[in-house]
Amino acid sequence: MSAALPIALDELELDALTELVNLGISQAAHSLAEMAREEVTLTVPQVRMVPRDEAIRIISEREHSKLVAVHQVFRGDITGRALLIFPEAQSFELVRAVVGGDMPIDEIIELEQEALAETGNIMLNGCLATIANHLQRSLTISLPEILHGESREFFDLEPPPPPGDLVMFIYINFALRHRNINGYIAMLLDMPSMTALKALLKAYIGRVAGDVLAG
């Protein structure tokens, strides 16, 4: 069972957030497909809001090998960290799938970090920018940074996170060139950002559903 969250989204707010994440990920798939010159399928089976400890637990229970993450910080009405996380063993596959094609292996190895940062940047920016645009807010997003380690380390980055942090936890399925890669996007939000997100989602729902909402 999940622990009760200090600030919870109601069903329609979570639905709206999931729609926005799906729009963002579709946008990212489009960009990656242009890069890869092949169809990219990116799907989001689930979006959840969980406490930070639970996010750490979910990943460490499912993934037993070392992990790699693309990390970006975003600032604005909503401030936090975004992480694209997947098993280290799959990062090479991911890069190969995206830049792959005819490129020789040694060149791919050389490009791995750069391509990984670029791929992560496309996916995280796709999500963040789409969410921000639809919520009619702007965000500044830092350059991508690659991290290697375990899930706890990713969620304990300096400066020390406040204890009440929540994580928007997004499961990602990524399919390209007959490769299937599963990963996660985690967005860490502190309490004021979570409060702001809830209010912005409420306003967004009002704009999208309008008079239907009352009925």
Q: Which residues bind other proteins (CB under 8 A)?
A: 11-12, 15-16, 18-19, 22-23, 26-27, 29-30, 33, 39-40, 42-45, 134, 205, 208-213
Supply the minimum distance, in Å, between the C-beta of residue 124 and other proteins.
Answer: 17
Tokens 């991508």 map to which residue? 144
> Which residue number, 20 or 82, has a Cβ lying nearer to other proteins?
20
Region of 36 on the Ramachandran plot (φ > 0 left; ψ -120 to 50 alpha; else beta): alpha
Query: Chain-centre distance of CA 79, in angstroms?
Result: 14
* Token pair in block for residue 119: 């791929």
Supply the minimum distance, in Å, between the C-beta of residue 39 and other proteins.
Answer: 4
Supply the minimum distance, in Å, between the C-beta of residue 23 and other proteins.
Answer: 4
> Which residue number, 100 or 126, has a Cβ lying nearer to other proteins?
126
Residues 31 and 29: their CA atoms lie apart, in Å, by: 5
Say if residues 201 and 67 touch (Cβ distance below 8 Å): no
> Which residue number, 56 or 176, has a Cβ lying nearer to other proteins?
176
Supply the minimum distance, in Å, between the C-beta of residue 7 and other proteins.
Answer: 20
> Which residue number, 24 or 87, has a Cβ lying nearer to other proteins?
24
Say if residues 43 and 135 touch (Cβ distance below 8 Å): no
Helix axes of 191-209 and 11-36: crossing angle, nearest 10 degrees: 90
